[in-house]
Amino acid sequence: MKDIMGLMKQAKKMQENMERAKQDVAALTTTGKSGGGLVTLTLSGSGNMSAMKIDPSLLNPDEGEVLEDLIIAAFHDAKAKMDEASQAAMKDAMGDIQLPPGMSL
């Protein structure tokens, strides 16, 4: 019976840690860049874009397709950074609890 109670306490603690980690992730922001910094954008932990800066040299009508590609690349850069930060936060929340094989966050 002690093992079950210990397991229940551990599960409750993990649940609290995961909830705290979710809140921490939601508060994160990350900036993605492309074109050597010609385009930068900022994403929140929930994936919403909160800012974008475009170098004026890209505001040429002949550069529209290039600008579109750079915006997409900057978004992917920011998203990859946010995913990495989210995974790190969730891993920290899990502590030393080992998930069964095949399970992941």
Burial class (CB in 10 A: 0-12, 13-18, 19+), 90: middle
Q: Which two tokens stand for residue 59?
A: 């505001």
Place of tokens 């936060």: 89
Q: How far does CA 58 lie from the centroid of its chain?
A: 28
Segment 24-60, tens digit of pLDDT: 888 889 999 999 999 999 998 888 899 999 999 889 8
- In-domain check, residue 79: yes
The CATH number given to whatever domain includes residue 48 is 3.30.1310.10
- In-domain check, residue 10: no
Number of structural domains (the chain) is: 1
- In-domain check, residue 4: no
- In-domain check, residue 98: no
For the chain, how big is the Rg over CA atoms in Å? Answer: 20
> Which structural domain, as residue segments, surrounds residue 78?
27-92
Segment 58-80, tens digit of pLDDT: 898 888 899 999 999 999 999 99
- In-domain check, residue 12: no
